[in-house]
Structure 1
Amino acid sequence: MNIEVLFPTLIGTAQADTATISLINAEVLKQKDTMNKLLSYAWGDNVLSSFDAEKNIFVAASLQALKKFVEDNVLQFVQMTRKDKDWKIDHQYTQSWINVTKKFGYQERHNHERNVEGIPISGAYYFNTNQNDGELAIFPCDMQYKQFENHVIEPVIGKLVLFRSDVFHRVGPNLTDTDRVSFSFNYLLNK
C-alpha cells in the first residue's frame, strides 16, 4: 500500500499481484452475464453502471477475490493513516458497483460524502483499461485547492485507489475505442 499526500487529502494505492489479478479476472468473467443484465446508463454520461440495479455487486456477483483484495487494502489504508487502529468494516453500509466507460464517457467532479459516524472510504479497482482511456483526478480538500493542483492517477489493470468518501474526484473522458471497466465502492469503518 502506497500513501500519497495531497495535503490534507490522503490517497492510498495498491497494485494487485499477477495471481490476484488472475483470480479476480476469472470470477468477473464467470459472472459477466449476470453483471451485464444489471448495467444501465445511471448517470447519462456514456458510462454504464450497475449502481441503479444492485448496490453491492461484490456480494451479488460473488466476487470474493475482488472483495477480499479491496477490503484488506481498505483496512490497511485506514490503519496506516490513523493513530487509533481498531476500525472494523460496517458491512451493512457497504456499496459496490461496476462501471463500463464507453467512448466519450466520463464522470464529472463529485464525491460520495455520507453523513455518518465513522470513516467512510471510497475508491476504484481497474479491471480493464488501455491506460489511455481516462485518468482519475483527485481534488484537494477545503481551501487547499489554491496551493495544490489536482492529483492525477493513470488507470492500470489491477490498480486499487482509495480515499475518504468526501474527497472530490472526477474521471476524464475515454477518447479511445475500447471500454474501461472499473469497480467502485463505498465502505464505512466503525469502532
Structure 2
Amino acid sequence: MKKFFAVLTIIILLASILCSCIVNNEPSTDTMPDSTISEEAEVSPSVPATATPGVPEEIHYARNTIAFHYYDAALEEEVSVSYPIDAETATPQTALDAVNQTFLKSIAAGQQVTANSIELSNGNLFIDFTQNIYELNIGSAGEKILLDSIADAYLNNVEGINAVFFTVDGERYESENMEITKGQSYREK
C-alpha cells in the first residue's frame, strides 16, 4: 500500500510540473498588444517573445546619470560608469552616447556606434544600428561587452523599458561573431 501511495504521489507531482510548464509556455500579452507578437513565436521562460516596433513613445531617463557596468580586459576588472546627463533634455541617443564616450572610447578611440533609430514602444526598446557597428575592430569579446553595455545603459536608466532589441539597417544583427534574429530581444529586465 505504501508503494501505491508513493507511485501516486510521484505521478501527481509529475503531472503538476507538466501542467506548470504548459501554462508558462503560453505567450503573455500583458506588455505587448496582439499586433506585436509574431504568430510563429514560441514563448518559453528561456526564449523571449519576438516583437516589432509599434507606436513610438517618449524616452524618459530616471535620473541625471547613465549608470552601467562593463568588464575591462586590460584592467581585468568590472568598471562602473556613471555618465552625467541632463535628464530633462536627454534624447534617445543619450545612453548610446554614454557608452560611446566611456567604454568604446577606452578600447577603440575615435570610433563610435551610430544608430539609424532608437524607439521605445510597449516597453520594448528597438535600436537600429548603422553598418558601422560591423566595422569596429574590437574583437568578439569587445562586441559582446559593447552590446551588453548598450542594453544595460537603456534597461537600467530609462523608465518603462522591459527588453532591448537590436537590428542593423532594419535587418537582423549578423556580424562575424554573433547573430541576433530580427525581432528577438537581446536582453530583458
Return the TM-score normalized by structure 1: 0.29
Quick check: which one's strand share is greater?
1
Which structure exhibits the higher relative contact order, with contacts defined as CA atoms closer than 8 Å and separated by 6 or more residues?
A: 1
Name whichever structure is richer in helix by fraction. Answer: 2
Q: Which of these two proteins has the greater Rg computed from alpha carbons?
A: 2
TM-score (norm 2): 0.29
